[in-house]
Chains A and B, each alone.
Chain A
Amino acid sequence: MSGMAEANEKLVCAILAEQVAHLRDKMDASDAFDLLWRTSALLSWLSGLLADINRQSPQASPVVERERNEAISEIAEIRRKLDHLAFVEAQRQDFAKQIADCVIVALERMSDAQMPPGTHFASADLAALYVSEDQRRLHEEVLQRLKGQAA
């Protein structure tokens, strides 16, 4: 590869690294999580309030009492589902950010002006950045597929 082409390629990698970093920083959907946690906390407070009302008005009709108990059960179930959703989504987001980090580091190294001319970032260098077995498995699948296509 000519020196000019290599310099252009490094420039493209540097720009792409910045673009992916920008995208990764936008992945922090903290407002959505904050809303989920606040809703869960509010439901917990409402549930406690209903339980207090139950205790303080023992003369309420059986129908009202049953409806209050049903509401408390329903609130508990919705809270459980909200907490589950927030936790699973937080982990998904974390995983996506880690994959983005891996792409950013790879692109930064490929764009590194200090990299001696003629040296290249190899697939094994990329594999060393992985943080999960899923990434390593996918890496192997792609290598096998590309080898199959080349054969």
Chain B
Amino acid sequence: MPIILVLDDSATMVMSLSHILKGAGYEVETGMNGREGITKLSGGLKPAAILTDLNMPELDGIGFIKEARKIASARFTPIIVLTTESGGRKRDEARAAGASGWLTKPAEPNQLLSVVKQLCPVK
């Protein structure tokens, strides 16, 4: 099963995303901020895709994307930003850092799965 790494500082969001992704056949790894995500990637986790929030403590989404792109195994891993931010400036900043896609909260489960399935289909 493809692994999806989910990063969000809201425990409810993490559980909700995990529930939807697991229901669609994905394995899910989670972290509460960008630093936890980097620790997992540095520790050898090779997710098929990463879903990250932007506003998180310790290391925010943009910082996480920049650091993740320096890790050889995560250089080309699709990173989707899921955030309340809908502004063009933030979007450009995330894209420049290396984000592959963007979903604005509130998103529909089908929207989320459609993006994830395009990037990493479940066989």
A interface vs B, CB < 8 Å? 28-30, 33, 37, 40, 44, 83-84, 86-88, 90-95, 97-98, 131-134, 136
- Number of B positions contacting A (CB below 8 A): 24
Is A84's CB under 8 angstroms from B12's CB?
no
Chain A residues in 8 Å Cβ range of B83: 131
A83 is contacted by which of B12, B20, B85, B87 (Cβ under 8 Å)? B20
Is B107's CB under 8 angstroms from A91's CB?
yes
Residue of B nearest to A94 (CB): B10
A94 is contacted by which of B12, B23, B109, B112 (Cβ under 8 Å)? B12
Given that A37-B19, A83-B20 are known contacts, is A93 also in contact with B87, CB under 8 Å in the complex?
A: no
Given the complex of chains A and B, what is the CA–CA distance between A131 and B60 in angstroms?
Answer: 12
Is A95's CB under 8 angstroms from B13's CB?
no
Is A98's CB under 8 angstroms from B84's CB?
yes
What are the 8 closest A-B residue pairs judged by CB atoms, nearest first? A90-B16, A132-B84, A91-B106, A94-B10, A91-B105, A133-B86, A90-B12, A131-B55
Given the complex of chains A and B, what is the CA–CA distance between A93 and B17 in angstroms?
Answer: 14
Is B55's CB under 8 angstroms from A136's CB?
no
Chain B residues in 8 Å Cβ range of A91: 13, 16, 105-107
Given the complex of chains A and B, what is the CA–CA distance between A40 and B15 in angstroms?
Answer: 13
Number of A-B contacts (CB under 8 A): 70
Residue of B nearest to A34 (CB): B15
* B11 at the A interface (CB under 8 A): yes
Identify the interface centre among A86, A94, A95, A132: most chain B CB within 10 Å of its CB. Answer: A94
Chain B residues in 8 Å Cβ range of A87: 16-17, 19-20, 107-109, 112
Q: Which residues of chain B from 1 to 59 have any CB-CB distance to chain A below 8 Å in the complex?
A: 8, 10-13, 15-17, 19-20, 23, 54-55
Q: Nearest Cβ in chain A — how far from B24, in angstroms?
A: 10
Given the complex of chains A and B, what is the CA–CA distance between A131 and B81 in angstroms?
Answer: 14
Given the complex of chains A and B, what is the CA–CA distance between A110 and B61 in angstroms?
Answer: 28
Is A33's CB under 8 angstroms from B85's CB?
no
Chain B residues in 8 Å Cβ range of A97: 10
Given that A83-B20, A83-B23, A84-B108 are known contacts, is A95 also in contact with B15, CB under 8 Å in the complex?
A: no
Chain A residues in 8 Å Cβ range of B19: 37, 40, 83, 86-87
Q: Nearest Cβ in chain A — how far from B1, in angstroms?
A: 17
Given A40-B23, A90-B10, A98-B84; 14 other pairs, CB 8 A cutoff:
A28-B11, A28-B12, A33-B16, A44-B23, A87-B109, A87-B112, A92-B106, A93-B10, A94-B8, A94-B12, A94-B105, A131-B54, A131-B83, A133-B87
